[in-house]
Amino acid sequence: MRYIDNDLTDKTILITGGAGFIGSNLAFYFQENHPDAKVVVLDSFRSGETLSNGNLKSFGHFKNLIGFRGEVISGDINDKALLAKLEVDYDFDYIFHEAAISDTTAMEQDLMVRTNLNAFKDLLDMALRQNANMIYASSGATYGDAPSPQTVGVEAPQNVYGFSKLMMDHLSRDVMKTAAISIVGLRYFNVYGPREYFKDKTSSMVIQFGHQLLQGKNPKLFENSDKIVRDFIYIEDIIQANVLAMHPKKSGIYNVGTGNARSFQSMVDILQKELGTSYPCEYIPNPFIGRYQFHTEANIESTVEGLGYAPKFSFEEGIKAYIPEIKRMFEEEVK
């Protein structure tokens, strides 16, 4: 689906983190809807390097870009020499900044702040020099345990990831005051959809439960999962928000969710219906009580006003649209 009518012929677009979940979906959106635009993907791609929690440092994967015909550059956004070369080699019109250490359980505070905040400042400075509109990934993690509906301006991050994203927002707000470009920070809530499989253990529970069911396993849920709710948002609505943010009514920080919280129990129920299974759920004690969000829901009033955003996928519609990809990844990567 095409979200803007602007002619992007001869426009140059940089997507950092472009081999990751959201970045790769953006790359294909422009390839399919604006084939005359030049799209440059930058990603560190995965290696064997892991964080102290055992998770991969980078989730970028070449398989997310199979079929992409633009330029692909392997590199780390912390590499100032690389950023300087990009600025010499390209004249960007838009920068979509999706690259980050996105593992909310990561303990490396130094790496998190350096990668998520300090490198963002370098990219923002480049955007200002090149007169390129900046659209970047903030996060619902900035809210921590703030009450629902989560509203921009009421934040209480509970981990260094949420802190780093909030500091990005503070920095961008300061720059917005005098910038000639538009700057938009998008606070993603619980995103699910195609090209997330290679996030491994940090992929959404939609695909994780889907693959459990396809393996014939009983889904394991925390106790009271009918009361544990999140604002789950399908990837197509995330792409919509990013594209609309290319030309916002005004720069700002915007929530990107559906504004409609749904339970984990409903997730499993919808998956079972779509997959034609009826395995009994197993309920286990929640070991994260006291440091676990039981209710997230995005206040999207300002997003509707500032971006013209209107979520198009209900939870039922998003999961139904995702089912063929869940099955494909199961056949190709899990079995």
**Which residues is 184 bridged to in the sheet?**
135, 252
Per DSSP (E only), the strands in 52-165 are 71-74, 94-97, 133-139
pLDDT tens sequence across 281-304: 999 999 877 666 789 999 999 999
Pick the CATH number of 12-334 from 3.40.1390.10, 3.10.20.30, 3.40.50.970, 3.40.50.720: 3.40.50.720
What's the whole-number average pLDDT of the chain?
96
Do residues 313 and 247 lie in contact, with contact meaning Cβ atoms separated by under 8 Å?
A: no
Catalytic site includes residue 161: yes
pLDDT value at residue 291: 65
**Which residues is 234 bridged to in the sheet?**
192
pLDDT tens sequence across 88-101: 999 999 999 999 99
Catalytic residue among 136, 161, 309, 322: 161
Catalytic site includes residue 199: yes
Measure the CA–CA gap between 102 and 80, rounded to whole angstroms. Answer: 21
Residue predicted with more confidence, 240 or 287 = 240
pLDDT tens sequence across 137-167: 999 999 998 999 999 999 999 999 999 999 9
Catalytic residue among 136, 199, 309, 322: 199
pLDDT value at residue 292: 64
- 79 CA to centre of own chain: 22
Tell me the pTM. Answer: 0.96
Region 124-147: what's the mean pLDDT?
A: 96
Region 169-195: what's the mean pLDDT?
A: 98
Q: Percent of the chain scored above 90 by pLDDT?
A: 89
Query: What ranges do the domains of the chain cover?
Result: 12-334
Region 227-245: what's the mean pLDDT?
A: 97
